[in-house]
Each structure stands twice: as C-alpha cells, then as structure tokens.
C-alpha cells in the first residue's frame, strides 16, 4: 500500500484533508523487520510512532528473566508507540515483529515540526492518539478485572461444573459483543476434549482434530473473522458462528482444554484485544484445573466416608 493510502486507512489520520495527508506522508520512513525481531525494547528512548502496513506485531511486558506478558497483538492498519508524542519518558514495553513486517514510522521531531505548521491537523491527530491510548487502558482494566474475578471463582472451592459455569458467565459479562461461550476440558480416559460448560449442541473434539493442532501451534489463541470459511469445524455451532475467538488452556506442553467466545451476528464483532483476555483466563484455568480435580476427589472421599459411617 502506498503511504497516502495507508495513512487514510488508519483511524488517526482518517479525518484529515487530502493535502494534509499528503504533507504528513513525507515524514513516513519505511522500517522492515523479520519475524521475531525487536522493534523496540522497554526503557528504549521513545522517539517514534509506528504504523503497520504488513505483518503482525506484539506489544509485551517482561515479567522476570524468562516470562513475558502479551499486552496487545496488532495487525495491518494498527498504530503503536504513540506515547512518544506525549512524553519524553522511555518505552514502557517491548514491541516485536511476530511475522515478517513492513512498518512506517514517524519520528517525534518530524511530528513536532508538522504540528508547528499545521496546528489544527496536529490537534486532531493528538486527540486520536489519546483516544487509542484510552482504549488500550480500558482494555487493560477490563482484563485485570476479569482475571481478578476469575481467580476468586477458581479459588471458591465449589464444584468444577459450578466454577466453569461462573467463568463462562464472567467472560460474557467482560465481552458484551459475544453471543455465547464454551469451555472444553480434556478427558484423559476418553481421550477427547469434552464440552464441560457449553450449549447442548456442541460435541466432543478429538486430540488430532485440525483445530486442536492449530491451537497447540498458537498458544496465544486464534481469532476467526469468518469461521465458516476458516476450514476448521466445531460441531454444534458451525452454521451459526460469524466471528470466534478460541484460546487453548496450556500447562507446559499439555493442553488441558480450550475456551471460546463467538458472535453469531457480525464477522467483525470480536476485537483482537479480546483474544488476550480469553488467553489470560485460559491460562488461569490450566494452572488450577488439577487442584480443582483434587478438591472434588477429596469431597467425594469425605462423602463416601460419611456414608459408610452412617451405615
């Protein structure tokens, strides 16, 4: 995509006149990154703002030596690094190319030069950048609240089926655009993933199903804008789903289950940011599932002991 077309496709610049967009395009500098390459690191100098033309970029926060928290996943037409225009503070997260990516960057000094000449247009751009930052803050707050409530549900000591039903309810509250949700758990005796909290029409999924294999290759989850054309199947909802997010519940290399949220009305109904939320909850469930099973077994033993004593 040429620079002017790219700028017009980005929310930040969409309301600007053609001459202003053309003027701004002069400041765009091409930056290509191979998959896995760092675009910038936390604590680097924040001196530029980026627009994605091709490829995918992850924004993440390092959580110790070997762990990271994915904050957002961005695709073509997305912008990031906008805090460079609001503050001289260093970067607060890492940006990494997840695939071979073509970006365009606008350096801080060039943008300041632009708004010194085009103050009205500069104000519109800054307002749009601030809106992006606020939206990301809102998503982070929503994710934190959901993870907090899910943690309380998991540690409640209730039966597994009650815990799963409440997690499903919490997800639907957090993602109002979703029409329904499902939680599948792996049954090692039947060697299949069973719909543990899901609409009654949904069926078991085998470990060698193409969807399961794809999830194992994408532990951060999958977003399908048109599931019917994806080539994958999820029996019971194939004919009604438009967009769907599916996140595996991974514990190490083992897949304990998976969670999904879907919209039956709109192919663009679910945002990419919701994939991170669902992935976070799936990670919580994966870590807790063994302990929940142990608690259930202990309750069953106690009931059996009480029954024997009564007899």
Domain count within the chain: 2
Predicted confidence (pLDDT) at residue 53 exceeds the cutoff of 90: yes
Q: Are 53 and 76 in contact (CB under 8 A)?
A: yes
* Residues 189 and 305 grouped into a single domain: yes
Q: pTM of the prediction?
A: 0.71
Is 287 part of a structural domain of the chain?
yes
Measured CA to CA, the distance from residue 310 to residue 84 in angstroms comes to 71
In DSSP notation, 176-239 reads: TT-SEEEEEEEETTTTEEEEEES-TT---B-TTSHHHHHHHH-TT-EEESSGGGSS---TTTTT
Q: Are 171 and 179 in contact (CB under 8 A)?
A: no
pLDDT band at 244 (very low <50, low <70, confident <90, very high): very high
* Residues 213 and 105 grouped into a single domain: no
Handedness of CA 6, 80, 99, 142 (dihedral sign): negative
Query: Which domain-ending residue is among 137, 172, 188?
Result: 137
- Assigned token pair, 169: 């309810």
Is 240 part of a structural domain of the chain?
yes
* Residues 128 and 169 grouped into a single domain: no
pLDDT in tens, 27-49: 999 999 999 999 999 999 988 98
pLDDT in tens, 109-168: 898 888 888 888 888 888 888 888 888 778 778 888 888 999 999 888 888 889 999 999
Predicted confidence (pLDDT) at residue 305 exceeds the cutoff of 70: no
Question: For the purposes of burial, counting CB atoms within 10 Å of the CB of 286, is it exposed (0-12), middle (13-18) or buried (19 or more)?
Answer: buried
Query: Which domain-ending residue is among 104, 137, 170?
Result: 137
Q: Are 115 and 121 in contact (CB under 8 A)?
A: yes
Residues 6+ apart with CB under 8 A from 280: 143, 146, 147
pLDDT in tens, 189-234: 999 999 999 999 999 999 999 999 999 999 889 999 889 888 899 9
Q: For the chain, what is the radius of gyration of the CA atoms?
A: 23
* Residues 163 and 306 grouped into a single domain: yes
Predicted confidence (pLDDT) at residue 287 exceeds the cutoff of 90: no
* Residues 176 and 278 grouped into a single domain: yes
H/E run at residue 114 = helix 108-117
Measured CA to CA, the distance from residue 144 to residue 148 in angstroms comes to 6
* Residues 125 and 194 grouped into a single domain: no
Domain that holds residue 68: 3-137
Q: Which among 196, 172, 171 has a CA at the least distance from the CA of 184?
A: 196
pLDDT band at 70 (very low <50, low <70, confident <90, very high): confident
Measured CA to CA, the distance from residue 220 to residue 222 in angstroms comes to 7
Strand order in the sheet with 243-251: 192-197, 180-187, 254-263, 243-251, 222-224
* Residues 187 and 224 grouped into a single domain: yes
Q: What are phi and psi of 151, to 5 degrees?
A: -60, -40
**What residues does 106 pair with on adjacent strands?**
49
* Residues 117 and 187 grouped into a single domain: no
* Residues 293 and 184 grouped into a single domain: yes
Measured CA to CA, the distance from residue 207 to residue 227 in angstroms comes to 20
* Residues 66 and 170 grouped into a single domain: no
Is 71 part of a structural domain of the chain?
yes
Measured CA to CA, the distance from residue 304 to residue 59 in angstroms comes to 51
The C-alpha angle 163, 168, 172, rounded to 5 degrees, equals 145
Q: Which CATH number covers residue 172?
A: 3.30.450.40
| Pairing outcome for strands 94-97 and 79-80 | unpaired
């Amino acid at each position: 995509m040429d620079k002017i077309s790219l700028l017009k496709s980005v929310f930040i610049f969409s309301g600007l006149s053609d001459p202003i967009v053309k003027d701004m395009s002069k400041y765009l500098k091409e930056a290509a990154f191979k998959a896995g390459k760092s675009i910038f690191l936390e604590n680097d100098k924040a001196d530029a703002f980026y627009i994605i033309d091709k490829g995918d970029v992850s924004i993440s926060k390092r959580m110790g030596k070997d762990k990271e928290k994915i904050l957002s996943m961005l695709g073509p037409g997305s912008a990031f690094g906008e805090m460079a225009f609001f503050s001289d503070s260093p970067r607060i997260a890492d940006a990494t190319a997840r695939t071979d990516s073509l970006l365009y960057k606008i350096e801080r000094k060039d943008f300041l030069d632009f708004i010194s000449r085009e103050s009205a247009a500069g104000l519109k751009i800054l307002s749009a950048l601030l809106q992006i930052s606020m939206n990301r803050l809102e998503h982070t707050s929503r994710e934190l609240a959901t993870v907090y409530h899910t943690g309380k549900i998991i540690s409640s000591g209730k039966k597994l089926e009650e815990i799963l039903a409440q997690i499903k309810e919490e997800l639907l509250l957090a993602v109002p655009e979703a029409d329904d949700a499902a939680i599948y758990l792996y049954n090692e005796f039947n060697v299949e993933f069973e719909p543990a909290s899901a609409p009654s029409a949904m069926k078991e999924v085998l470990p060698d199903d193409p969807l399961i294999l794809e999830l194992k290759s994408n532990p951060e989850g999958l977003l399908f804008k048109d599931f019917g054309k994806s080539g994958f199947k999820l029996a019971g909802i194939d004919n009604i789903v438009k967009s769907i997010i599916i996140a595996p519940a991974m514990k190490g290399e083992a897949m304990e289950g998976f969670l999904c949220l879907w919209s039956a009305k709109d192919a663009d109904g679910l945002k990419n940011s919701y994939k991170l939320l669902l992935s976070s909850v799936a990670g919580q469930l994966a870590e807790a599932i063994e302990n929940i099973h142990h608690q259930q077994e202990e309750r069953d033993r106690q009931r059996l002991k009480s029954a024997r004593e009564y007899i």
